[in-house]
């Protein structure tokens, strides 16, 4: 199946056909890039469209694609599959200072179906984010610091979990994907940087330098 042939309709037959073609290809599929409509529609809620075996194989494949990219999350629409399914895992080694400032702790692998999140409290935090479907760019995104995630596990169990810090950011980013939202929709566009500029100038633990020099999210003294 070619990149351009990826379907954007939600019929069970087309979803199953797409998954079977991806699983049967014998290679890791490419990650769909921004501009493809599959990333801009609310994906179909998962309600048993796939067999348990195919769902398990798809989750395994998504995990492999995520690792190869590499990334900390991947949603089914990023493979051209309009289903509310995403995988998440953050086991990267991070500088302790960066981890402390960003509230970044390891996130064990899990897959979530039909996710929804709600902010817990009013605290927010802004940090740079990137996306496997928006190659070469990063931008600062202001998000709730803590969220409650409601989702279904692959075995059909409905769960409610709380996340904070960087884990909450990953959860929000991937949940947004299955609802047709990209991180740039929530980003401070004046912060937008290509990867080289980000690495050279803005990769400090926090965004204070970028905020000041690029002129976004002014602090209290600058309001």
SS3 string of the chain?
CCHHHCCCCCCHHHHHHHHHHHHHCCCCCCCCCCCCHHHHCCCECCCCCCCHHHHHHHHHHHHHHHHHCCCCEEEHHHHCCCECEEEEEECCCCCHHHHHHHCCCCEEEEEEEEEEEEECCCCEEEEEEEECCEEEEEEEEEEECEEEEEEECCCCCEEEEEEEHHHHHHHHHHHHHCCCCCHHHCECHHHCEEHHHHHHHHCCCCCHHHHHHHCCCCCHHHC
Active site residue 129: no
The residue from 129, 145, 174, 188 that is catalytic is: 174
Active-site positions read 174
């Amino acid at each position: 199946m070619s990149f351009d042939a990826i379907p954007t309709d939600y019929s069970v037959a087309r979803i199953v056909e797409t998954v079977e073609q991806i699983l049967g290809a014998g290679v890791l599929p490419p990650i769909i890039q921004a501009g493809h409509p599959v990333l801009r529609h609310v994906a179909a809620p998962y309600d048993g469209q796939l067999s348990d075996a195919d769902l398990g194989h798809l989750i395994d494949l998504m995990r492999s694609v995520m690792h190869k990219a590499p990334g900390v999350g991947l949603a089914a629409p990023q493979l051209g599959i309009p289903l509310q399914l995403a995988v998440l895992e953050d086991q990267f080694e991070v500088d302790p200072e960066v981890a402390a400032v960003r509230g970044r702790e390891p996130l064990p692998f899990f897959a979530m179906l039909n996710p929804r999140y709600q902010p817990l409290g009013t605290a927010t935090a802004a940090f740079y984010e990137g996306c496997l479907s928006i190659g070469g760019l990063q931008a600062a995104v202001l998000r709730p610091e803590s969220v409650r995630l409601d989702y279904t596990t692959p075995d059909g169990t409905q769960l409610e979990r709380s996340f904070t810090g960087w884990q909450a950011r990953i959860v929000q980013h991937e949940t947004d994907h299955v609802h047709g939202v990209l991180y740039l929709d929530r980003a401070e566009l004046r912060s937008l940087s290509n990867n080289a500029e980000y690495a050279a100038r803005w990769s400090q633990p926090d965004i204070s330098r970028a905020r000041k020099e690029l002129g976004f999210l002014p602090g209290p003294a600058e309001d």
